[in-house]
Structure formats: C-alpha cells, structure tokens
Structure 1
Amino acid sequence: MNILDTIMEKAKTNPQRVAFPECCEEKILQAARECADKKICIPYLVGTPKDIQKAAEDFNISLDDMVIYDASDSEKVEALIAAYCSGNTMFSEKSMRRRAEKDAMYTALMLQAVGEADVTFAGLTHSTGEVILAGQMVIGLKEGVNTISSVGIFNIPSYQGSKGSLLGFGDSAVCVDPDSEQLASIAITACDTLHTLLDWEPKCALLSYSTCGSGTGPFVDKVTEAVRIANEKRPDLAIDGEFQLDSAINPAIAAKKVNRESKVAGQANIIIWPDIDVGNIGVKLVQQFANADAYGPMLQGFAKIVCDCSRGAPVSELVGNIAMSCVRAQGEKHER
C-alpha cells in the first residue's frame, strides 16, 4: 500500500465535512463525487443550488450523498454571519455580508469557523494568494504560528532514509524569503503537520550551504538563528541545523561533518529550505532526476485546515489532497 492509499484509508475511518466553494467547476465536482463514493469525506457544495444542479447535469455527475449549502439563501447566510461575528471576530456583520455576497469562499470559511464544516478546499478558480488572504481573515492563524507556509512529501524510489523513500519538505510555495522567525515557524509547523498526517516523530533539518559553521555570512546566520528560535519555542521537537543537504540525510556524511551530538544530522525526515528559490528548484530537481512524486504542497499555519489546490492538478491529485486535508482535520480535532 503506497502513502496515498494509507492516507485515504485513514480518511475513511472518520469522514470529515469538506466545503467546496468552487463547486460548479467540473474537476471539483468529479473530485467530490469520487470522495463521496469512496467515503473519504462528506462534500458540502457551497453555492447557488440551481447553478450547482445545472453544472452537475452538464457534466453528468450525480450529487447523491453530497450536501448543498445554499449560499444564495439570505436568511441562512445572515444566521451564519451572526454566529461567526459573535465569536469575538474583528470584522463586522456588514463587512462579512459584503464578502459573502461576492465570493462563496468566504461563506465556506465561515461555515468552517463556526464548526459546520471541517475543511475548506479551493484554488481552482482562486489564486493561492486569495485563498491565503481569506483563510487568514476568516479562520486565522494557529496559536504560536506567525506565518502561513506549505509542506510537501517526496516519495523518492531510489532513496532509503529514516522513513524509507519518504521525505518531508517545506516551504516551496508560499514564503518567498522567510526571515529567521518565519523560518522557525515553518519548521515547527511542518513537524506538527507531518506528525498529524503520518504519525512521524519529526526529525527536522534546516538547510544551508553551510554545515555547523563551515560557511559564514548572513544567509547562514538566518538559518542558525531560526534553529535557535525553533528550539526555544518548541524544545519537544527535534529541529537542528544549519546543515547541507547531504549532512541532513546521509548518516555517513553527517558522521564526518557534524562534530557534535544531534538527533537530526544524517537522519532527517523533514528538510526546510532557506527560501523559495531553493525550495522550488530543489523540488523540481528531485522530481526530474529521481523520478520522484511530490505530494502537496499543503498549506499550514491556519487555526483549521484550509487547502489550496493547483489549478492544473488532475482529479486524482485533487482527491489525494482532499484525503490529506481530512486526515489533518482528524488530527487537529484530536489535539484540541
């Protein structure tokens, strides 16, 4: 059983309610249909019923076992806005009404915020920036987190690390040039995300062109300070660096380069890129030259699970991302 099969089986044990505000899109309806059929989640289609039904007819997709939330029902939406704004929100009912009238994504996120949905899934017609902005506004950040970031998982056939062919990585999609505080937040959140998703005990390496002071300069300083901050905030997590990639994942090289005790050196199961340039290039190098799959990126750092999918993603990838989001939502509930 591969990683996605394992995650899908886990999602089925406690299907979560997933709000789809882009539910008139063919790929979203196809993904929701597959998820409902496989009992991966309970799809909540958030929009105007007649538009949803017309799209389903046009694409020949059954709406059985899906919940349609009528975002055009002013009385229902007013009650939702009132419930949301009663929870010490900084936004007025008038402000949220205006946003909900323009974009069903805000209605979906409010449903999630008040506990009527567990995950919001968007990104096919919304940009990543729009999803992040709306998520920050309506859902907010997780306690102790100061930035939204992303995490992914490599499945590298030719690699045998501490988790076999799997290796977590972040952030390659959101934070362009994180400072030390943000880098520490990315590392901490990545550890929590992958622990929830895969039951890993995280061993997280912050990467650099330097290993333990072999190089100097502001780029190295940023990483070493991030390690210090992360360890101060979460001493329960194994987060270490600064390491070059080989020192992070290869025990033999770590033994030569890392002349101090480390729970992470040579056995990292999560690597943190120093910036998005390195992350984007690194992901594509691994995909192209190692024939690896890269699952994600998954947004992290919100108080509840918000998923941004790739516009070009096939339905199979959407289903995988939905399943991962549901398992994360299961874990978040358990932690609360």
Structure 2
Amino acid sequence: MDNIFLFLREKAKKNPKSIILPEGEDKRIQEAVKFIVKEKMAKVILFDKKGNLGGLFKDVGNEDFLKIIELKDEVMERYANLYFELRKKKGISLDIARRIVRENPVFMAGLMVREKEADGFVAGACTSTSDVARAAIHCMKREGETPTVMGAFIILVPDCPYGENGLFVFADCGVIPLPTTEQLAEIAIEAADFTKDILGILPRVALLSYSTKGSSKGENIEKIIKALEIVKKKRRDILIDGEFQVDAAIVPEVAGIKSPHSPVAGKANVLIFPNLEAGNCGYKLVQRLAKARAVGPILLGLEKPASDLSRGCNVEDVIDAVAITVIRAQRSN
C-alpha cells in the first residue's frame, strides 16, 4: 500500500470539489495550494487576512481552481450574523459571534460549507484541534442520527508487514477525551466505514485495551466489551473484535497465542483506542519512532467533510488531507 496517497490524489482529480483552506498565511498551506491548483486536485478557496496573497499564485495557472477571499469587515459580518443565528439559543450574543468569527476564520469556513458555498474544509496548520473540531461541530450539521464527531488518522508505516501492509486507520485520536460505551461503538463504526469507502480496503477492527479477551478485569474492560456488543448488534457486516492488547491485534504470532480463534486478532487494520490520551500518544509514537505518515485527524460524523491538521504537519500532509476531503465530498454529493 506504499502508493495509497498517490491513489487518493488521482481519485480526487477525477472530480475536483471546492475545499476551503482558511489558514492562507501559513507557508505550508501556500506551498500545498500551489501543488493542488497546478494538479487540478481541488478547487481551492483560500482565506487572505491581510489582502496580500494574490501575488504568490500568479505563475501557478489554472485560475479556475483558486479563489482567494479577503477577510474584509463586511464579509466577516455576514458570517458573524449566521453564527449568531445558529448559536443564540446557546447564549451567544452577536458581539461574541463577531469576535469568534473574526479571531478564528475556521468558523467562517464551517459556515460556508453549511451554506453550500464549498464542499468541505481543511484546517489546523496553525489552529488547535479543539478549535477546528469546535468550528466543525458548531457550524456544520451532524451526519444522520450519529451524535458523535471523532477524529481518525490514516497511518502508513514503511516496511511494515502488519495491518494492510503497513496501512492502518487509528481512531479516535483527536476529539473525544473519554468516550462513553455508545461513543466508542460509533467511533468503531465510522472508522470502519471510512476505511472501506475511502481507502477501498476491508476493515478489520480491533478495540484496543491493556487486556486481551479477559486477561484482565475492570470497569474500562467492561465498557469495551459492551461497545463491541453494540457494534455487532447494529452492524453485522463489520468485522470487529476485542478487547485486544496492541500486539494481539496486529501480530499474527502473538494472536495465535493470546486469541487463536478470533477473526480479527493478528490482522487488524483499524485500531480503536479506549480514550483520547491513548489514541493521541499512540499515533504520535508511531509517526515519530517508525517514521510513519500520519494524515489527519479526519473529522468523521459530519454531514459534510472536514479535516484537521496537526500543527506539526508538512506540505505533503496538507495535500493528502485535501485529497481525502475531496473524495469524501464526491461521495456526500
């Protein structure tokens, strides 16, 4: 699966969608935009806080694939009013709405997607995950009856025999600090569907823990077991099992000892972490120690696609997050 990101980029090019990048002042974003526009991967809407970005893209070509919006007062006022109307029942005043939208244009990006002025957004290069997630949750509609918004990562580990030849999906690594049993089940379902629909591979989902199939007892273990039961009841088509320690989930030799009869043990390619601490630490350890690619957190559970970026992202991460957001927009449209 070494070429998975090339595959996703090519898939995005087949039907480019309009994607907002609200952090136009970030140099990594600017470099990514040049590539995306040149390759006609997405129709980029770039926010310009200071009104000085136009000259950076004169030689890129493909003018129809780039729209720069200067964040003038009259523009911001319109979206501040939209945000106020959405959130006034939560106690937000118009003045507070103005401050939020002006200080964090990611909220304007979310509102534009809600208003169908764009198909999705990608942000986070210089905005915290909590702010990106809050903008998406407050401004965009949830998907169907799903009450949970979560963050998934695509992880590609070089020279790795585990998962899907080194390809994994990790969740939730970005949004929910302490998921309930029901939320844990929703995280597993959303991550499985994302793996199948966007990556085109059969998801084999492992619910992770410090225990493997009853080797330890405790309240947290019981929560995972109940989450497993919920998924199996709701979605019999999903191949899922747990609870597993990481080695039992992905290493066939260990699985043969700890859980020899599981259809998932030793073969998992979707790893569901018990809480945000574990998920966030887990993906960053793999990213830094194994020199893995980690793209995300991709926000799942929304009606329209949005993706966060780590503030430690590079240009390639931005390009690939946009490609994934385009493909998800292709499906949602």
Relative to structure 1, the CA distance from residue 13 to residue 77 in structure 2 (aligned partners, 3 Å threshold; closer, same or farther) is farther
Residue aligning to 1:33: 34
Residue aligning to 1:55: 53
Residue aligning to 1:197: 198
Q: Distance in 1 between matches of 2:274 and 2:219?
A: 12
1:11, distance to aligned residue in structure 2 (A): 0.8
Q: Distance in 2 between matches of 1:317 and 1:17?
A: 18
> Structure 1: which amino acid aligns with 2:311?
R
1:251, distance to aligned residue in structure 2 (A): 3.3
SS at 1:67 equivalent? strand
1:230, distance to aligned residue in structure 2 (A): 2.2
Residue aligning to 1:255: 256
1:94, distance to aligned residue in structure 2 (A): 8.1
Q: Deviations over 1:123-143 (max 9, x none)?
A: 233221111111111103222
Q: Is this contact kept in 1: 2:153–2:295, CA < 8 A? A: yes
Structure 2 spans left out of the alignment, 5+ residues: none
1:4, distance to aligned residue in structure 2 (A): 1.2
Relative to structure 1, the CA distance from residue 207 to residue 102 in structure 2 (aligned partners, 3 Å threshold; closer, same or farther) is closer
Q: Identity percentage over the alignment? A: 33
Relative to structure 1, the CA distance from residue 256 to residue 25 in structure 2 (aligned partners, 3 Å threshold; closer, same or farther) is closer
Q: Distance in 1 between matches of 2:291 and 2:248?
A: 22
Q: Distance in 2 between matches of 1:135 and 1:256?
A: 43
Relative to structure 1, the CA distance from residue 58 to residue 137 in structure 2 (aligned partners, 3 Å threshold; closer, same or farther) is same
Aligned residues: 326
1:111, distance to aligned residue in structure 2 (A): 2.0
* TM-score, with length taken from structure 1: 0.84
> Structure 1: which amino acid aligns with 2:41?
I
Residue aligning to 1:295: 295
Relative to structure 1, the CA distance from residue 206 to residue 279 in structure 2 (aligned partners, 3 Å threshold; closer, same or farther) is same
> Structure 2: which amino acid aligns with 1:184?
A
Q: Is this contact kept in 1: 2:54–2:68, CA < 8 A? A: no
Residue aligning to 1:232: 233
Relative to structure 1, the CA distance from residue 59 to residue 17 in structure 2 (aligned partners, 3 Å threshold; closer, same or farther) is closer
Q: How does 1:100-111 map to 2 (within 5 A)?
A: 100=101, 103-111=104-112
Residue aligning to 1:312: 312
Q: Which is worse superposed, 112-121 or 99-108?
A: 99-108
1:316, distance to aligned residue in structure 2 (A): 2.2
Q: How does 1:153-302 map to 2 (within 5 A)?
A: 153-161=154-162, 163-258=164-259, 260=261, 262-302=262-302
Q: Which is worse superposed, 38-47 or 23-32?
A: 23-32
> Structure 1: which amino acid aligns with 2:317?
E
* TM-score, with length taken from structure 2: 0.85
Q: Deviations over 1:257-304 (max 9, x none)?
A: 3265x4322221111111233223333443454343333232222221
Relative to structure 1, the CA distance from residue 81 to residue 10 in structure 2 (aligned partners, 3 Å threshold; closer, same or farther) is farther
1:236, distance to aligned residue in structure 2 (A): 2.5
Relative to structure 1, the CA distance from residue 39 to residue 127 in structure 2 (aligned partners, 3 Å threshold; closer, same or farther) is same
Structure 1 spans left out of the alignment, 5+ residues: none
Q: Distance in 1 between matches of 2:283 and 2:75?
A: 47
Q: Distance in 2 between matches of 1:55 and 1:332?
A: 31
Q: Is this contact kept in 2: 1:56–1:62, CA < 8 A? A: no
Residue aligning to 1:125: 126
> Structure 2: which amino acid aligns with 1:207?
L
Relative to structure 1, the CA distance from residue 209 to residue 79 in structure 2 (aligned partners, 3 Å threshold; closer, same or farther) is closer
Q: Distance in 2 between matches of 1:79 and 1:275?
A: 34
Q: Distance in 2 between matches of 1:26 and 1:47?
A: 12
SS at 1:5 equivalent? helix
